[in-house]
């Protein structure tokens, strides 16, 4: 059975996808993306959307903002975001 993801979470997932496109070259956007995804993870877990929460957790495992360097896994995270 497909999970029913609340509309507000869907909107924020779409916002996160757009944000990630700019995040790989901008540290502040990267941090903002990471915080948004962490918030979405908690909201998905609270909503009982375990499969989507697992996907978001996988992205967070690869997302590690580092000031002064480019994202080493931007392409990998970008591909995962497209699948969401």
Domain ranges (residues) in the chain: 7-83
> Which pLDDT score, from 0 to 100, does residue 69 have?
67
44 neighbors 83 (Cβ within 8 angstroms): no
Strands (E), 1-45: none
Instruction: Dump pLDDT digits (tens) for 53-69.
Output: 999 999 999 988 777 66
Instruction: Dump pLDDT digits (tens) for 15-63.
Output: 999 988 887 678 888 889 999 999 999 999 999 999 999 999 999 999 8
1 pLDDT higher than 70: no
**DSSP conformation class of 69:** S
């Amino acid at each position: 059975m497909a999970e029913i993801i609340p509309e507000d979470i869907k909107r924020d997932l779409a916002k996160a996808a757009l944000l990630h496109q700019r995040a790989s070259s901008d540290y502040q956007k990267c941090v903002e993306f990471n915080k948004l995804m962490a918030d979405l993870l908690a909201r998905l877990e609270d909503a009982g959307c375990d499969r989507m929460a697992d996907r978001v957790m996988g992205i967070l495992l690869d997302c590690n903002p580092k000031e002064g360097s480019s994202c080493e896994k931007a392409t990998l995270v970008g591909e995962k975001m497209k699948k969401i």
